Structure 1
Amino acid sequence: MISIYLAGPLFSAAEMKFNLELSEWLTEKGCNVFLPQAACLNKTTEEIFTLCKNGVESASAVVAILDGADADSGTCWECGYAFAKNIPVIIVRTDIRDSGDTRGFNAMLYYSASGIIEDRIHFKEKILDELLKLTS
């Protein structure tokens, strides 16, 4: 079973629903998912930092949702930290709006990614495919 840190914006009801549904789907497929919005409920900001940092460190891979006009700052930090720790990062964009320097992604995130997914319909299956590539 692969351990995943699911990074992404989590400040609106829609973002939280998206993250939860993706987390549940990946769990059904046999992944162990660290979901910050669930793990950090009712925690102080310092506790959130520690929990998320430890979550990234214990993950086999980070799956980062980079939708929106600009990638979420916390998600960017989690991606950079994972990259510095040699933890593979799969970046995902389901948003059709053009954003960033490279195919809708920030160049730093794009070129540090182990896998890149741009899909609004089959992104879940593509995430699983990328995760399976990392473990084979």
Structure 2
Amino acid sequence: MNRKKTIYLAGPLFSHAELEYNCKLKDLLLKKGFSVFLPQEDAEDTIDEREKLNQECIFNKCVEGLDGSDIVVAVLDGVDVDSGTAWEIGYAYAKEKPVIGVRTDFRSLSDGIVNLMIEMAIVALAKDEDELLKMIEKFR
């Protein structure tokens, strides 16, 4: 029997909208049969934990989550990619883990859809959740 593949879900987690969107994506990926590491839950990356100065613990849990993942799905919305998400993409790339970006934001840079370094580090870029779910099937 094949084990479930684990997805590390990278993305900004600083507003209610971002937190809710991350949970929505997690639920969609779980329904597709994947395990999902979501930093805001699994690394307890919350305002309360940051106020307790648990940054090192949060960081270590995120690195462990990345190391234990098979695939990274990265939310790339915004004027520029969230800096933590960019770091997670670079780390995954260095570890030779496939990264699929999802960008629902219709804004684009003058020279591309996302930053060149991000664009070259991902294996695919979905424009919405439906496209992401189709792409992720290739990695089952």
Aligned equivalent of 2:41: 38
**Within 1, Cα distance between the matches of 2:59 and 2:110?**
26
**Which residue of the partner structure matches residue 127 of structure 1?**
132
Instruction: Indicate which of 47, 58, 70 corresponds to 1:48.
Output: 58
The answer to whether the Cα contact below 8 Å between 1:83 and 1:112 also exists between their aligned partners in 2 is: yes
| One-letter code aligned to 1:106 | N
Cα separation, 2, equivalents of 1:30 and 1:16: 21
- CA deviations 1:97-118 (Å, max 9, x no partner) are 223642x211011111111112
Q: Measure, in 2, the Cα distance between the counterparts of 1:108 and 1:130.
A: 21
Deviations 1:14-66 (A, max 9, x none): 00000011101111221100000011225410011101111111111000001
Task: Report the alpha carbon displacement of residue 96 of structure 1 after superposing the two structures with TM.
Answer: 1.0
Secondary structure in 1 matching 2:33: coil
Contact 1:100 1:106 in 2 (8 A): no
> Identity rate of aligned residues, in percent?
44
8 Å CA contact 2:102, 2:129 repeated in 1: no
SS of 1:62's equivalent in the other structure is strand
TM-score (norm 1): 0.89
TM-score by length of 2: 0.87
How large is the Cα RMSD of the aligned pairs?
1.4
CA 129–60 in structure 1, closer or farther in 2 if over 3 Å, else same = same
> Structure 1 residue runs of 4+, over 6 Å off?
none
What are the superposed Cα offsets for residues 54-83 of structure 1, whole Å, 9 maximum, x if unpaired?
A: 111111100000100111000000000000
Say if 2:87 is the partner of 1:77: yes
Name the structure 1 match of 2:73. 63
Q: Select which of 115, 119, 126 maps to 1:117.
A: 126
Counterpart pick for 2:117 among 91, 95, 108:
108
Letter in 1 for 2:15: S
Aligned to 1:30, the other structure's residue is in SS state coil
Letter in 2 for 1:114: V
How many residue pairs get aligned? The number is 130
